[in-house]
């Protein structure tokens, strides 16, 4: 093999310089893209809040209405004060249940059911950091959306299956058909691997959007741990079964 000439070395050096410049450009483009995504998300949140406030203000007298620019500036604070927020799923359930039919009405019905929740990188740049310390708890509250309701209608009184046709108030039941289709499940934490929580004893179907998770703390969440409660210890599964009626559809 003939030795490389001096011009070949020069050519290699130029290529290395070009590669270095390209890497810097790619890094800059990535940073610009991340900043653009953050700005777009912030703008859309403000815009949706402003539109919501405008629709609410249409029913007010003219002297009580504000200009769109004023509402846009005040949108985030006003929306929170009025109870209007834009929900963003922190992740989606990957469950052993693929459809509503066959999914247990309550997590205690099927303690061996399994699911995973992977925290979305769009919520946190380092989602695994948001889960630090959660492994110290045996259970978590999972707040989710009933995304398979099929319709958004709801009534003040319903017929839960457990009462054999008797009508009761919606808020004395766990029907998924509610003004705000929010669900709440107490699930066991099996393990946490990176940005993923492995759960068991769940009643959510595959693809369920999760809005939040909170640790179960018996000192705060269990009525039996409060002053004056009877000196009787009950585990999480027994407490949920005793204190909560079965979910209704």
Place of tokens 């099996």: 190
Cβ atoms of 237 and 222 closer than 8 Å: no
Quote the pLDDT of residue 90: 94
Q: Are residues 59 and 118 in the same domain?
A: no
What are the per-10-residue average pLDDT scores of the chain (249 residues)?
Answer: 66 82 84 81 76 58 42 56 84 81 56 85 90 94 86 82 84 86 91 94 88 92 73 44 38
Q: Pseudo-torsion of CA 194, 198, 207, 245, nearest 10°?
A: -140
Alpha-carbon gap, residue 173 to 156, rounded angstroms:
11
Alpha-carbon gap, residue 145 to 12, rounded angstroms:
57
Identify the domain boundary among 81, 104, 139: 81
Quote the pLDDT of residue 108: 55
Q: Which CATH number belongs to the domain containing residue 184 in this structure?
A: 2.40.30.70
Quote the pLDDT of residue 109: 54
Q: Are residues 95 and 159 in the same domain?
A: yes
* Residue 86 resides in a domain: no
| Sign of torsion over alpha carbons 6, 11, 16, 20 | positive
Alpha-carbon gap, residue 195 to 143, rounded angstroms:
18
Quote the pLDDT of residue 40: 81
Identify the domain boundary among 53, 81, 109: 81
Does the predicted TM-score (pTM) go above 0.75? no
Quote the pLDDT of residue 110: 58
Q: Are residues 19 and 112 in the same domain?
A: no
Quote the pLDDT of residue 143: 94
Identify the domain boundary among 26, 55, 81: 81
Among candidate residues 223, 234, 236, 232, the one with its CA nearest the CA of residue 189:
236
């Amino acid at each position: 093999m003939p030795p490389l000439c001096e011009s070949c070395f020069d050519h290699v050096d130029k290529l290395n310089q070009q590669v270095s410049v390209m890497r810097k450009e790619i890094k800059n483009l990535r940073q610009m893209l991340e900043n653009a995504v953050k700005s777009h998300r912030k703008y859309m949140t403000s815009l949706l809040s402003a539109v919501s406030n405008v629709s609410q203000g249409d029913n007010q007298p003219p002297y009580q209405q504000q200009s769109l620019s004023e509402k846009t500036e005040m949108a985030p604070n006003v929306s929170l004060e009025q109870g209007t927020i834009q929900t963003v799923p922190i992740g989606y359930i990957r469950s052993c249940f693929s459809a509503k039919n066959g999914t247990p009405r309550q997590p205690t019905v099927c303690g061996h059911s399994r699911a995973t929740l992977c925290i979305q990188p769009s919520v946190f740049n380092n989602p695994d950091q948001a889960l630090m310390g959660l492994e110290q708890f045996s259970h978590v509250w999972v707040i989710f959306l009933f995304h398979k309701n099929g319709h958004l209608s709801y009534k003040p009184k319903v017929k839960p299956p457990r009462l054999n046709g008797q009508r009761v108030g919606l808020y004395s039941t766990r029907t998924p058909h509610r003004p705000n289709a929010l669900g709440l499940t107490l699930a066991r934490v099996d393990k946490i691997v990176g940005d993923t929580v492995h759960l068991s004893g769940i009643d959510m179907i595959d693809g369920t959007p999760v809005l939040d998770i909170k640790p179960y703390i018996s000192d705060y969440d269990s009525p039996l741990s409060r002053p004056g409660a009877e000196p009787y210890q009950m585990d999480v599964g027994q407490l949920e079964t005793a204190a909560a009626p079965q979910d209704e559809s």
